[in-house]
A and B are shown apart, each in its own frame.
Chain A
Amino acid sequence: MTSSNSFKAENFVIKKEDVAQFLKGLSDYTIYAPVQEEDTVLFKVIQNPDKIALHITNTVKSPKFVVLPQTETMLKVTKGKENSIKIDEPVLDEKNILFGIRPCDARGIAILDKVFSGDYKDPYYVKRRANTIMIGLACTDPHRNCFCTSVGGAPDSTDGLDMLWTDIGDLYFVTVLTKKGMKLVKETVIFSKATSENTRVMNKVHKTAHEKITEKLNADALPKKLENLFEDKYWDEVSMKCLGCGSCTYLCPTCYCFDINDIEYRDKVKRVRTWDSCQFSSYTIHTSGHNPRPNKENRMRNRVYHKYKYHHDNYNELGCVGCGRCITYCPVDMNLKATIKELAEK
Chain B
Amino acid sequence: MSDIEGNIQAKAKKLLKDGTIKYFIGYENGSDPLHTTPCFIKKAEDVDKIVWNPLCVNNLAGYLTHDKKRELKKGEEEDKKPIGILVKGCDSKSLVQLLSEHRIEKDEVIIFGVPCDGVIDPKKLEKVLKDKNLSVNTIDSLTIQHDGKNYTVKVNGKKYSFPKDKIEMSKCSDCTQPNPIISDETFGEKVKKSDKKDYKTVEEIEALPLAKRWKFWSDQFAKCIRCSACRNVCPVCYCKECVVDSADLVITPQTTSSEKANKMPWLEKNVDPAENMFFHLTRMMHMAGRCINCGECERACPMNIPLSLLTKKLEKEVKEMFDYEAGIDVEAKPLLSIFEEDDPGDFIK
Which of A39, A142, A259, A332 is the one whose CB lies under 8 Å from B37?
Answer: A332
**B219-244 toward A: CB 8 Å interface, digit per residue (1/0)?**
00001011111011100000000000
User: In chain B between 31 and 90, which residues have their CB closer than 8 angstroms to a CB of chain A?
Assistant: 31-32, 35-40, 58, 62-63, 66, 70-71
Please encode chain B, from 291 to 308, with 1 for each CB lying within 8 Å of some chain A CB and 0 for all others.
000001001101110000
Asked whether any CB of chain B lies closer than 8 Å to the CB of A216, the reply is no
Could you say which residues of chain B place their CB within 8 Å of the CB of A263? 268, 270
- Would A331 and B229 count as touching, CB distance under 8 A? yes
Contact B223 A212 (CB under 8 A): no
Given contacts A71-B272, A245-B228, A282-B247, contact A60 B31 (CB under 8 A): no
Instruction: List, in ascending order, chain A residues with CB within 8 A of B233's CB.
Output: 243, 245, 331-332
Residues of A within 8 A of B39 (CB): 241
How distant is the Cα of A331 from the Cα of B251 in the complex, in angstroms?
Answer: 30
Query: A294 touching B302 by the CB < 8 A rule?
Result: no
CB pair A245–B225 under 8 Å, yes or no, is no
Chain A residues near B302 (CB, 8 Å)? Answer: 60-61, 247, 251, 329
- On whether A70 and B225 interact (CB within 8 A), knowing A39-B123, A60-B303, A331-B299, the answer reads yes
Interface string of B244-286 (1 = CB under 8 A from A): 0111101111010000100001001111100000000000000
Specify which chain A residues have a CB less than 8 angstroms from the CB of B31 in the assembled complex. 145, 327, 333, 335, 337-338
* CB <8 Å contact, A61 and B225: yes
B223 with A288: CB separation less than 8 A? no
Please determine whether B271 and A243 come into contact, CB atoms closer than 8 angstroms.
Answer: no
Q: Does A287 contact B (CB under 8 A)?
A: yes
Q: Which chain B residue lies CB-closest to A276?
A: B269
Secondary structure of the A contact surface, majority rule? loop
A280 and B252 contact, CB distance less than 8 A:
no
Task: Tell me which residues from 118 to 169 in chain B have a Cβ below 8 Å from any Cβ of chain A.
Answer: 123, 135-137
B30 located at the interface, meaning its Cβ lies under 8 Å from any Cβ of chain A in the complex? yes
Taking the complex as formed, is A83 at the interface, i.e. its CB lies under 8 A from any CB of chain B?
no
Q: A241-B38, A247-B300, A294-B71 are known contacts. Are A288 and B251 too (CB-CB below 8 A)?
A: yes
Within 8 A of B (CB), among A266-299: 272, 274-277, 280-282, 285, 287-289, 291, 294-296
- Residues of B within 8 Å of A288, CB to CB, are 251
- A60–B135 Cα gap in the complex (Å)? 18
Is A152 interfacial (CB 8 A cutoff)?
no
Q: Are A281 and B271 also in contact (CB < 8 A) when A247-B227, A329-B302 are?
A: no
Question: Beyond A144-B135, A282-B248, is A40–B223 a contact (Cβ under 8 Å)?
Answer: yes
Contacts of A289 in B (CB 8 A): 250-253, 255
A243 touches B229 (CB 8 A): yes
Cβ contacts under 8 Å, B252 to chain A: 289
Q: How far is the CA of A333 from the CA of B29 in the complex (A)?
A: 10
Q: Is the CB of B38 within 8 A of A71?
A: no
Q: Would A280 and B245 be within 8 Å (CB), given that A243-B233, A289-B255, A338-B31 are in contact?
A: yes
A314 at the interface (CB under 8 A from B): no
In this complex, what residue of B is CB-closest to A141?
B135
Q: Contact string, A6-22, partner B, CB cutoff 8 A, digits 1/0?
A: 00000000000000000
C-alpha spacing A241/B41, complex, angstroms: 12
Complex CA gap A133/B70 in Å reads: 46
Nearest-CB distance from B48 to chain A (Å)?
17
| Shortest Cβ gap from B309 to chain A (Å) | 14
Chain B residues with Cβ under 8 A from A281's Cβ?
245, 248
**CB within 8 Å of B: which of A289-346?**
289, 291, 294-296, 327, 329, 331-335, 337-338
Give the distance in Å from the alpha carbon of A170 to the alpha carbon of B223 in the complex. 35
Q: Could you say which residues of chain B place their CB within 8 Å of the CB of A295?
A: 70-71
Once the chains bind, are A241 and B251 in contact (CB under 8 Å)? no
Instruction: Tell me the A217-241 residues at the B interface (CB within 8 Å).
Output: 237, 240-241
Of the candidates B30, B226, B270, B304, the one having the most CB atoms from chain A within 10 angstroms of its own CB is: B270
Point out the residue from B62, B71, B232, B268 that lies within 8 Å of A272, measured CB to CB: B268
* Minimum Cβ distance to chain A for residue B265 (Å): 8
> Are B270 and A243 closer than 8 Å at their CB atoms?
no
Structural contact, A250 and B270, CB atoms closer than 8 A:
no
Take A60-B303, A276-B269 as given contacts and tell me if A250 and B227 are in contact as well, using a CB distance cutoff of 8 Å: yes
Q: Measured between C-beta atoms, what is the minimum distance from B211 to chain A in Å?
A: 21
Residues of chain A with a CB closer than 8 A to B137's CB: 142, 144, 212
Give Cα distance in the complex from A191 to B312, angstroms: 54
**Nearest chain A CB to B256's CB is how many angstroms away?**
12
In the assembled complex, the CB of A181 is this many whole angstroms from the nearest CB of chain B, namely 30
Nearest-CB residue, chain B, relative to A243:
B232
CB contact between A71 and one of B247, B271, B303 (< 8 Å): that residue: B271
Q: Which residues of B contact A259 (CB under 8 A)?
A: 269
Contact A274 B40 (CB under 8 A): no
Instruction: Give Cα A130 to B238, complex, Å.
Output: 44
Interface pairs (23), CB distance under 8 Å: A71-B272, A142-B137, A145-B32, A212-B137, A241-B38, A241-B39, A243-B62, A243-B232, A245-B227, A245-B231, A246-B226, A246-B227, A250-B225, A250-B227, A261-B265, A263-B268, A263-B270, A272-B268, A274-B271, A282-B246, A282-B247, A329-B302, A335-B37
Nearest 7 Cβ contacts at the A-B interface: A289-B251, A331-B300, A282-B247, A333-B37, A245-B229, A294-B71, A243-B232
- Identify 14 new A-B residue pairs, CB closer than 8 A, beyond the known A71-B271, A212-B137, A263-B268: A61-B225, A61-B303, A141-B135, A145-B31, A241-B63, A246-B226, A246-B228, A251-B225, A263-B270, A287-B251, A289-B251, A295-B71, A331-B58, A331-B229
